[in-house]
A and B are shown apart, each in its own frame.
Chain A
Amino acid sequence: MERINKLLENYFKGETTLAEEAELKQYFATGTIAPEHKPYSALFQAFGQEVQQQYTTPMTIVLPKQSSGKRMWVRAVVYSGIAASLVLAVWIQRPRQEEDYAIIRGRRIDNPEYAQRYAEKKLNAVNEMLRYKLKPLMDAQALKDNLRNVDEGENDKNQIIE
């Protein structure tokens, strides 16, 4: 008891070490406290309660600016995740086999052969259109190739003459 009295005296003078203060905390936490020390029990209990206060709000730090290598890696993971989610969503929502149909000019077509023929016809039309539109470009490319051949032939001829 003498020891606790001395520690308390020094404690209130601000002269105790951390170890001695831990000893006091331990004494007041045990429950067997001398009557003359009871008034101080609430003080040490208050400190014990306060140390349990926690910061509960989640920290929101701005995403770190990492090196380009790390950023690329993070992006790759994010984009892969998005792609995987899309594939999964399409797979989950795909129509069942017995519900296959096509919409042609606003009408529902349940006949797959008709829909296929219609699609092929349209694709051929697009093919023809592309061939017609690209013909001048293809001709220009062929002309360019021919001119290159002529130039190379001229160079070969000059080398032989030299």
Chain B
Amino acid sequence: MDSTQFNVKILSLSDKLFRLAKSMLRNTEAAQDAVQDLSMKLWEKRKQLDEVENVPAFTMRAMRNLCLDTIRKQGDEDELPAEFEFVAPNPHQQAEQKDLVGRVRDMIDNLPELQRTIIRMRDVEGMEISEIAYITSIKENAVTVNLSRARQKIREKILYEQKYVEANIWKE
């Protein structure tokens, strides 16, 4: 793979790679570093990329593995427990985050890593279940289950917050 092919096939994926890294690492600068790091690594191994059948999926998978390594090195300090329970926002938080869209993004960020990665690959990037299965190295059935769980959790949180906000409005 020469520099032109590399630019077309790899660097054109930079936005997708960045979004995946940001979703996993939940930090813009760390995500930018991860994209840069991966680009360099792939450039060094560009000859082997000629043998890869689906370069975009392979690259996304490499990005996910790199981010998982980063998370492991951080000792999972920032990672929330898998069964993280939604806590209703207090009035101060509500004042800070009146924007429900922003709250939904926070809800997605607070999902376990696999679920937030899958829901974003599907609903933001519009990927097929088979592609997500390859990138996350799990079976298609497991992707569907995790996707459903992620969406259900977000739905519950949205409805819960809606009720909470309405109840407080009536109190006032």
Interface flag for A49 (CB, 8 Å): yes
Chain B residues numbered 107-137 whose CB sits less than 8 Å from any CB in chain A = 108, 120, 122-126, 128
Q: How far is the CB of A68 from chain B (nearest CB, A)?
A: 14
Q: Are A59 and B11 in contact (CB under 8 A)?
A: yes
Which residues of B have CB within 8 Å of A55? 14-15, 17-18, 32, 35
Q: Are B104 and A14 in contact (CB under 8 A)?
A: no
Residue A114 CB within 8 A of the other chain:
no
**Interface residue tally for chain B (C-beta within 8 Å):** 40
Contacts of B145 in A (CB 8 A): 14
With A42-B158, A46-B105, A51-B124: A61-B40 Cβ-Cβ less than 8 Å: yes
CA distance A47 to B151 in the complex (A): 12
Chain B stretch 1-40: residues in CB contact (< 8 A) with chain A:
2-3, 6, 11, 14-15, 17-19, 22, 32, 35-36, 39-40
Among B43, B105, B147, contact of A61 (Cβ-Cβ < 8 Å): B43
Whether A62 contacts B43 in the complex (CB less than 8 A), given A42-B103, A46-B108, comes out as: yes
Q: How far does the alpha carbon of A54 sit from the alpha carbon of B17 in the complex, in Å?
A: 10
Residues of B within 8 A of A12 (CB): 148, 151-152, 155
| Docked complex Cα distance between A64 and B145 (Å) | 44
Contact A60 B36 (CB under 8 A): yes
| Given A42-B103, A43-B158, A62-B40, A14-B35 contact (CB < 8 Å) | no
Closest CB in chain A relative to B3 CB, distance in Å: 4
A61 CA / B46 CA spacing, docked (Å): 12
From the candidates A13, A46, A64, name the one contacting B101 in the complex (CB within 8 A).
A46
Bound form: Cα–Cα A60–B100 in Å? 37
Quick one: given A13-B148, A46-B108, are A64 and B2 in contact (CB under 8 Å)?
A: yes
B117, chain A: closest CB distance, angstroms: 13
**Is the CB–CB distance between A54 and B39 below 8 Å?**
no
Least Cβ–Cβ distance between A109 and chain B, in angstroms: 56
Chain A CB count within 10 A is highest, among B3, B43, B104, B128, for B104
Inter-chain contact B19/A53, CB cutoff 8 Å: yes
Q: Is the CB of A53 within 8 A of B151?
A: no
Residues of B within 8 A of A (CB): 2-3, 6, 11, 14-15, 17-19, 22, 32, 35-36, 39-40, 43, 100-101, 103-105, 108, 120, 122-126, 128, 144-145, 147-148, 151-152, 154-155, 158-159, 162
Can you offer 13 A-B residue contacts whose CB atoms are under 8 A? A11-B151, A13-B148, A15-B148, A39-B158, A43-B154, A47-B123, A50-B105, A50-B124, A55-B14, A57-B32, A57-B36, A61-B40, A64-B3
